[in-house]
Amino acid sequence: MFNRRVLFISVFSCAVFMLSGCSSNRFASRDANATYVNTQLKIIPRSQEKIQAQSQCSRSFSLLQKLNTDKFSMYRNQFDEINDAYYFYKRNVDLMNKDSKELMASVLDSKLDMVCVRVDNASFVGIYGKMKKVMDL
């Protein structure tokens, strides 16, 4: 099951990248964000508890796109870097020893969680900024 899921995500990601090459905007296909974040979060095998947390991350990321496009782009790029590192890991996992595999998987998982926390915080700050204007009336 895991191998089929990874294969599906890999094929899906390749299709997205190929289709985005036909677009005038390099990031056009990724700006639909909830789907994009869900794809990023599903790339790294995660526990059921973390899978439930990804739903909040997806919603926060979608909201952030509407609140602060600069932060949205910054975090989208961080998701991309994690994704690139994971693909490096998957391509070279057979060459790594047990400790290297564990270390890289752990770091990728932690970084993904960290970016989600940053996204949640940025969306909260954005909402607070919008509400502050109303409260100051």
- Cα–Cα dist 135/9, whole Å: 44
What residue type is 118 in one-letter code?
Answer: R
Q: Name the residue ranges covered by the structural domains of the chain.
A: 2-135
**Model pLDDT, residue 128:** 95
**Model pLDDT, residue 98:** 93
Q: Report the SS3 class of residue 109.
A: helix
**Model pLDDT, residue 39:** 60
**Model pLDDT, residue 54:** 80
**Model pLDDT, residue 27:** 43
Which residues does the chain have with pLDDT short of 50? 1-31
Predicted confidence (pLDDT) per residue in 107-123, tens digit = 998 999 999 999 999 99
- Cα–Cα dist 62/78, whole Å: 15
